[in-house]
Chains A and B, each alone.
Chain A
Amino acid sequence: MTIARTLVSAVAIGAAGIAAPLGAQTLNVAWSQDATGLDPHTQTAFASIRLLELLYEPLVRLGPNLEIQPAIAESWEFSDDATTLTFRLDPEATFHDGSPVTAADVKASFERILDEATGASARANYTSITGIETPDEHTVVFQLDGPNVPILNGMGSINAAIVPASAIEAGTVGTEIMGSGPFTLEQRTPNANASLSVYEDWHGGGIAYDGIEVSILPDETAILASLRAGQADFALLNDPLVATLVPRADGLELNTAPTLSYHVLQLNASRAPMGELKVRQAISCALDRQDILDAALLGEGEVTGPLTSPAYRNDPSTLFCYEQDQDRARQLLTEAGYADGFSATIMAANGEPPTAAAEAQLIQSQLAEIGIDLSIEMQEMNVYVDSWLAGDFDMAVALNGGRADPYTMYNRYWTKDGNLQNVANYIDDTLDSLMQEGRVETDEAARKEIFAEFERHLAEMAPWVWLYTGYTYTAQRDGVEGFEATPTGSLFGLVDVTLSE
């Protein structure tokens, strides 16, 4: 055994020497996927947004329970008819090169987002802006084509980050980082590592350490191992199977926070037999959502209806068939004329999310019990996305992103002119009218009631079968305190983290 002993000690000395000891006040962070690009206006991948939220700042930000908090804007208000929105900027806010953030920068940023040539995918959320005025250096007034309460939520996304007008002219937005966020990007080796250091005069206040060292470890078991070996102080985990191991290891803490993104079984209502309402309802009744959650995610999550943001979420048991009822399911099937079931294919993306394969197999075995024979088609991520966008599937296991505001979350699917209609494959007047009402309604309580009605109708029509929401996991070593997770999965909470020996 002597060879193994010497080998291991060599590794030990080497490893300890490398990981920068906590003393130098660097926070070592590890996660499994790297940003796919650095232009805040066009990037939508979760891995990209997580990084950009530390480098850029939008006008406002969503807090731990999704309330609107000041960011670049100190204060804001709607006109009484909610058709104009005025922001007053924080005079202290400066870009990383020290230049102040002015109204002109805000105007230029939004014009860039609205310009089709930029390819800003979140553009749909801001099309109701008809004009932007800058009465003085620190005030911006947005003219809207009609009352649009959700737009304020939209302003909280990093896709609406404020970039210097000069950078837009120079066209360097995607290649050089010039934001006003709490950190600056020192170095980045894509798909491997990145180094961020604290922006001293960030207008949001001081940060308790000097910088962040990011390591991209694609294999989540490797992330857990690096936490144990002290190479990483803080980590983000996707796979519940790995996350549930963290509490077992001494010296590690696991924080879980519910997410807005929802696990769903999308049915293609434009194809027989899913075109039949009773068939879709039978499928909804046949599934035991809690059992799938227990098996695929080891119970790490909560059964949910279509609305996932805390402000609008309702108790799912009130929704259509949220208790498994196989007899009712068989009865619905016979009423729809499919007494002895049918066969179909179910598509899922490999590793996106990590639990997709498990969910597909569980759904397959549960639907088999009422005579629906599914064959599973696992696909590589890009192939999956292509078929998903084209609506070319019988059923699909999906994990779709959620938004704080139900309108911005679902207008793309469940409105008549939503641009992902061919993915939803279902629309009716009630859904469309409820969405429009919700958009214009300014009173919170009324909005909540409208969307609750929208949720009940959606569950009953069951174009999709909503399953559950999972958790976002962050793990940290002892000595790392003060991090507060948010449903959007944003890492902005790292700003308040303190490191102690």
Chain B
Amino acid sequence: MNYVLRRLLMFPLVMLGVSVFVFVAIRLVPGDAITAMLGTESGLLTPAQRESLAAYFGLDQNWVVQYGRWLIGLLQGDLGLSVTYGQPVSQIIMERFPLTLELALLSMLIALLIGLPAGVFAATRVERPSDLVVRIFAMIGQSTPNFVLALLAIYVLSVGFGTLPTMGRFVPLTEDPLGNLAQLILPALALGTAFAAAVTRISRAAMLDILGEDYVRTARSKGFSQSYVIWRHALPNALIPVVTLSGVEFGYLLGGAVIVEQIFALPGLGRVVLDAILQRDYALVQGVVLFIAFNFLVVNLIVDLAYAALDPRIRYGES
């Protein structure tokens, strides 16, 4: 397990890197929280008024002090107060993250449930029409911008069927499972299509390679049927590249969620960051971006664990 241990040790290092990066980046953005809040009216503030507001927003200290105070707070689990929401950043994250997480997991599920079988199916029928059909669909899936998909979905549903996934509010799974699914199925489809296409192509390529390997030939020489050989011998090996792809792709899902949440008006974490940047809410941007980066690293760790579980060569290392 030393491989995974080494990855764990890298966590704080990368997180520190991210925290510095986002802290500096958001402060380089012109304009501050006061202009964001008051707009053109902020010109009416007298210097004294501006100072008192700046103090309230914590904009008056120099950067190093602000970073120091934020970092110390971070270590005690206090991500600071969001100016625009008037709530602690950690509370906003806890409220908004379930939606984005569920959206990302649902699209990942869709991607894997559609992508993997399609990829394997296509690989076993190489050069036959069904292989071509799967590849074309995968290609189109990967080529359509997700916001076009989202726009069309809303238009067709509201005009054609007079129904729409609930907007503005999150229907938690615990309260109303059917409502929750109804709300998230469409955004998850819009977000997950490109991912499903990628999984199809990766699993198809992996399966093609694996079916040519010696150990598959050995399995066949034992008299096992084609489906058993695929399911028992080929698939476990094909999962490895798919798992790796899912790790990287999960990062994109969190990013892609920003646009899909905007169009479907879902109060997720993706939109919070978008608004926070526009509102110059420093504490919120820093907190949420750090949280998303943390998630990304956790997901990659899970991918590594899955990697080790799938492939003993990693788990035991070289004998």
Contact = CB atoms under 8 A, between A and B. Distances in A.
Interface of A: 7-8, 10-19, 30, 36-38, 42-45, 116-124, 174-175, 189-193, 214-219, 221-222, 224-226, 228-231, 380-383, 385-386, 388-389, 398, 400-401, 412, 419-420, 423
Contact of B45 (A121, A219, A381, A398): A121
Nearest to A28: B168
Nearest to B92: A190
A191 B163 CA distance: 23
Interface in B151-198: 151, 154-155, 157-159, 161-171, 176, 178-179, 181-183, 185-186
A10 B182 contact: yes
B279 interface: yes
A382 B157 contact: no
Centre residue among B36, B181, B265 by max chain A CB count within 10 A: B265
A124 B95 CA distance: 39
A14 B265 contact: no
Nearest to B279: A36
A224 B158 CA distance: 9
A184 to B, nearest CB: 18
B37 A45 contact: yes
Nearest to A383: B30
Contacts of A230: 162
Given A215-B167, A229-B158, A381 B44 contact: no
B267 interface: yes
Contact of B265 (A12, A216, A420): A216
Contact of A36 (B37, B50, B161, B169): B37
Given A221-B155, A231-B167, A383-B31, A215 B43 contact: no
Contacts of A17: 176, 178-179
Contacts of B170: 192
Contacts of A215: 167-169, 265
A431 to B, nearest CB: 19
A412 B30 CA distance: 25
A174 B86 contact: yes
A19 to B, nearest CB: 7
A222 B265 contact: yes
Interface stretch (B66-74, B238-246, B270-278, B300-308): B270-278
Given A191-B275, A219-B262, A15 B166 contact: yes
A385 B40 contact: yes
Interface in B118-169: 151, 154-155, 157-159, 161-169
Contacts of B267: 189, 191-193
B44 A36 contact: no
Interface of B: 29-32, 35-46, 48-50, 52-53, 56, 84-87, 92, 95, 151, 154-155, 157-159, 161-171, 176, 178-179, 181-183, 185-186, 262-265, 267, 271-272, 275, 278-280
A137 to B, nearest CB: 32
A229 B43 contact: no
Nearest to A227: B158
A18 B45 contact: no
22 contacts: A10-B185, A12-B161, A15-B166, A36-B36, A36-B84, A116-B46, A116-B52, A189-B169, A190-B87, A217-B265, A218-B262, A219-B262, A222-B154, A225-B154, A229-B162, A380-B278, A381-B278, A382-B35, A383-B31, A385-B31, A386-B31, A398-B40
B38 A193 contact: no
A45 B181 CA distance: 36
A219 B272 CA distance: 15
B35 A389 contact: yes
A334 B92 CA distance: 60
Across chains A and B, which 9 residue pairs bring their CB atoms closest together, nearest first?
A: A14-B182, A215-B168, A382-B31, A192-B267, A225-B158, A44-B41, A229-B164, A217-B265, A12-B163
Nearest to B95: A189
A44 to B, nearest CB: 4
Contacts of A36: 36-37, 84, 279
A404 B319 CA distance: 84
Given A10-B182, A18-B171, A222-B167, A38 B86 contact: yes
